[in-house]
């Protein structure tokens, strides 16, 4: 039977404080200490001694507790509970601790590991603690976190879509607006392939441009179109910039501005520029643009092309007698009569105050005459004003078709116009046809 007695905490401290162990513990760059079961120091390395007070030696702190040197205020209860779990329950605790250090005049943050210290029999005789000062690291993390929150706030409130996509086609970042377009939370976008969030053909088309940018390092700026989560087509202006090293991999940073409203405004302005605001049919400028195109098409394919020129009879007298609001109703009602008799491919336009033209692609002279007569008869049955049921509306029609001798569309237009004036000279409310093979005049 051994006659040696079990080492006391003081014996252990003495062993640790001498020789190579002391040198090692003083140079590890961490605060190393041991305590007895009551929390009193049995060992402290040089970093601990310097922390507790200037010029302190080991013998000055042995038998004393941390709170004899440092006022930890509200943290004392937490510290005592942590020590109790180690000393009474035998738990190993790893946690962040913050203490106000008087010698430094500031609060420092530590990452501390505390473990029970046991004798050869396994009984707990004290505690060993190792702490690393992470104050600067914590400040840096807090600063980075604040900057990230600031950046996220800015990017989430931009009127645009912002993303980062890696060379593996996975999204590394997405702001709130992009998430709304995809109809998913941001957490369900980051880490996903582009083909998981968009139709495969759309994703592949985008990736073809992305791969080119990654290979060349060239930025891209251009217009894109996407179908959003609600099935609506949206238009965007995209600026994409390669970043050669984003978290260790090449990536692309994209800023996309939604220009759908601008597109709609542009389309509306174009529509207004080509449309008569009162009747909704094409205006004179639009009519001639389309007519030139149809003339060239007819010449190229050898297909017929006809035109009907129309003038509402005695419109000035009607306008003066009943007033402009009734005159507007007459024009609108007449436009409806015409459109109801035409195909989608036909072009109906208001070319003057009460003057209208109809362009009939792939239509010969005889068929154009039939169409003109149908519209003329419909016009006689129209009663545009309920307040004036006696109001009778009639119109005169001139019909012509493209002929071999016509050098341009204006030759056809002039011939249809002559036919119209001939109808007015005949007494109005009739159709006159001018052409190489003229059908019977109505």
The pLDDT tens digits along the chain (442 residues) read 444 455 555 555 555 545 567 777 777 788 999 999 998 999 999 888 888 887 889 899 999 988 888 776 665 677 778 888 999 899 999 988 877 666 666 778 888 899 999 998 999 999 999 988 888 888 877 787 777 777 677 667 677 888 999 999 999 988 888 888 888 998 999 999 999 998 898 899 889 999 999 999 899 988 888 777 677 888 888 899 998 877 778 999 888 888 888 878 887 777 777 888 899 899 999 999 999 999 999 999 999 999 999 999 998 888 888 888 888 988 998 898 888 889 999 999 999 999 999 999 999 999 999 999 999 999 888 766 666 667 788 999 999 999 999 999 999 999 999 999 999 999 999 999 997 555 444 4
Do 418 and 372 sit in the same domain of this protein? Answer: yes
Containing domain of residue 360, as a range?
Answer: 275-434
Helix H or strand E segment including 80 = helix 76-87
Same domain as 420, residue 309: yes
Can you give the CATH number for the domain in which 188 is found? Answer: 3.30.450.20
Residue 124 burial class via C-beta count within 10 angstroms: exposed 0-12, middle 13-18, buried 19 and up: middle
Q: Considering the domain boundaries, does residue 93 fall inside one?
A: yes
Evaluate whether 435 touches 365 at the Cβ level (below 8 Å): yes
Query: Do residues 181 and 100 share a domain?
Result: no
Residues 296 and 369 in one domain: yes
- Contacts with 413 (C-beta within 8 Å, 6 or more apart), sequence order: 291, 307, 309, 357
- Residue 216 placed within a domain: yes
Domain end point (choices 209, 235, 262):
262
The answer as to whether 373 is a domain residue is yes
Say what the pLDDT of residue 80 is. 78
pLDDT in tens, 319-335: 888 888 888 988 998 89
Distance CA 441, CA 398 (A): 10
| Angle 238-269-356 from CA coordinates, rounded to 5° | 145
- Residue 146, pLDDT score: 77
230, 262, 294 - which closes a domain: 262
Give the total number of structural domains in the chain: 3
Q: Are residues 279 and 423 in the same domain?
A: yes
211 and 84: one domain?
A: no
Q: Tell whether 288 is covered by a domain.
A: yes
Are 201 and 329 in a shared domain? no
pLDDT of 151 = 66
Q: Are residues 362 and 318 in the same domain?
A: yes
Report how far residue 339's alpha carbon sits from residue 347's, in angstroms, rounded to the nearest whole number.
Answer: 9
In a domain, 412, yes or no: yes
In terms of domains, do 101 and 174 share one? Answer: no
Residue 3 inside a domain? The answer is no
pLDDT at 1: 41
Alpha carbons 34 and 126: distance in angstroms, whole number:
7
Q: Which residues, at least 6 apart from 326, have a Cβ–Cβ distance to it below 8 Å?
A: 318, 319, 384, 385, 387, 388, 391
Residue 236: phi and psi, rounded to 5, are -135, 150
Residue 109 is predicted with a pLDDT of: 85
Which helix (H) or strand (E) is 318 found in, with range?
A: helix 315-322
Same domain, 129 and 20: yes
Q: How far apart are CA 357 and CA 163, in angstroms?
A: 52
Q: Note the pTM of the prediction, 2 decimals.
A: 0.49
Point out the domain boundary residue: 262, 293, 325. Answer: 262
Catalytic (active site) residue 354 = yes
Verify that 220 and 258 share a domain, yes or no: yes
Residue 201: inside a domain, yes or no? yes
CATH number at residue 386: 3.30.70.270
First to last CA, the chain: 139
Same domain, 300 and 344: yes
Residues linked to residue 306 through DSSP beta bridges, in sequence order:
360, 401
Which pLDDT score is estimated for 440? 42
Please report the pLDDT score of residue 274 as a whole number.
Answer: 86
Outline where DSSP puts E strands in 297-375.
305-312, 347-350, 355-361
d(C-alpha 333, C-alpha 351), whole Å:
16
Annotated active-site residue in 97, 224, 294, 354 = 354
């Amino acid at each position: 039977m051994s006659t040696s007695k079990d080492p006391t905490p003081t014996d252990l401290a003495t062993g640790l404080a001498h020789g190579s162990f002391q040198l090692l513990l003083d140079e590890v760059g961490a605060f190393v200490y041991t305590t007895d079961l009551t929390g009193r120091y049995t060992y402290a390395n040089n970093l601990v001694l310097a922390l507790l007070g200037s010029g302190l030696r080991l013998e000055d702190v042995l038998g004393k507790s941390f709170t004899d040197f440092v006022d930890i205020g509200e943290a004392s209860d937490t510290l005592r509970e942590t020590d109790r779990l180690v000393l009474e329950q035998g738990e190993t605790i790893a946690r962040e601790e913050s203490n106000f250090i008087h010698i430094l005049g500031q609060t420092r943050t530590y990452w501390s590991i505390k473990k029970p210290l046991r004798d050869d029999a396994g009984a707990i005789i004290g505690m060993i603690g190792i702490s690393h000062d992470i104050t600067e690291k914590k400040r840096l993390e807090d600063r980075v976190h604040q900057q990230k929150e600031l950046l996220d706030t800015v990017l989430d409130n931009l009127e645009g879509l912002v993303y980062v996509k890696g060379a593996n086609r996975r999204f590394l970042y997405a702001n709130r607006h992009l998430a709304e377009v995809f109809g998913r939370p941001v957490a369900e976008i980051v880490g996903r392939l582009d083909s998981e969030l968009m139709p495969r053909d759309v994703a592949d088309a985008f990736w073809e441009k992305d791969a080119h940018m990654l290979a060349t390092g060239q930025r891209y700026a251009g217009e894109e179109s996407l179908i959003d989560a609600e099935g609506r087509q949206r238009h965007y202006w995209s600026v994409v910039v390669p970043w050669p090293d984003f978290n260790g991999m090449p990536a692309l940073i994209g800023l996309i501005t939604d220009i759908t409203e601008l597109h709609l405004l542009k389309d509306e302005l174009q529509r207004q520029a080509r449309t008569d605001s009162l009747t909704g049919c094409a205006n004179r400028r639009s009519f001639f643009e389309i007519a030139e195109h149809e003339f060239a098409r007819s010449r190229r394919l050898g297909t017929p092309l006809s035109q009907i020129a129309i003038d509402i009879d005695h419109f000035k007298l009607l306008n003066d007698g009943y007033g402009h609001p009734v005159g507007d109703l007459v024009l609108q009602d007449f436009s409806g009569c015409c459109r109801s008799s035409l195909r989608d491919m036909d072009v109906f336009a208001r070319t003057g105050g009460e003057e209208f033209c109809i362009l009939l692609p792939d239509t010969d002279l005889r068929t154009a005459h039939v169409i003109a007569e149908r519209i003329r008869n419909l016009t006689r049955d129209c009663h545009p004003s309920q307040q004036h049921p006696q109001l009778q509306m009639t119109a005169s029609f001139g019909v012509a078709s493209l002929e071999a001798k016509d050098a341009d569309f204006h030759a056809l237009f002039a011939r249809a116009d002559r036919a119209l004036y001939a109808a007015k000279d005949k007494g109005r409310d009739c159709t006159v046809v001018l052409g190489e093979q003229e059908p019977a005049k109505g």
